Amino acid sequence: MAAKVKSEKSNVEANLLSDTNPPLELTKQAIAQVREAIKREQQPKGTGLRVLLVQVANGYRYDLQFDSKEMSGDHVSLQGGLKVFIDPIVASALGGMRIDYQAFPGVEWGGFLFEKVE
């Protein structure tokens, strides 16, 4: 008698969104910069990006961190081969946003820009 194999996806696979429908979109430039930072900071294989909203004195600010572990309820998307982790509450606040990277002329660094996609 053959054993019955239960077919269940892991939490990450169950929450994995298509590359075309994440709660937050990263541009190719942003993905390239995150990948470069992961390599430069010698982060372990499988490291992705966690997008956060952090409460400050006069409201909230966006924050980006390296992460490799999904937390319960996270929205996880794979964008350009990069895992992006977003808490469900943060995901609802970020809906329709895009993260881009802009280099600043004359200097060796730039910054990540959060833009509302119309």
Q: How confident is residue 92, by pLDDT bands cut at 50, 70 and 90?
A: confident
Output the CA angle 20-110-62, nearest 5 degrees. 60
Residues near 28 by beta carbon (within 8 Å), at least 6 away in sequence: 80
Domain range summary for the chain, segments of one domain joined by +:
23-116
Two structure tokens written together for 72:
């319960």
pLDDT tens readout for residues 43-70: 999 999 999 989 899 988 889 999 999 9
Q: How confident is residue 36, by pLDDT bands cut at 50, 70 and 90?
A: very high
Classify burial at 62, counting beta carbons within 10 Å of its beta carbon; exposed 0-12, middle 13-18, buried 19 or more: middle
CATH code, 23-116: 2.60.300.12
Beta-bridged to residue 61, according to DSSP, are 54
Judge contact between 40 and 32, C-beta under 8 A. no
Average pLDDT, the chain: 82
Residue 25 has pLDDT above 50, yes or no: yes
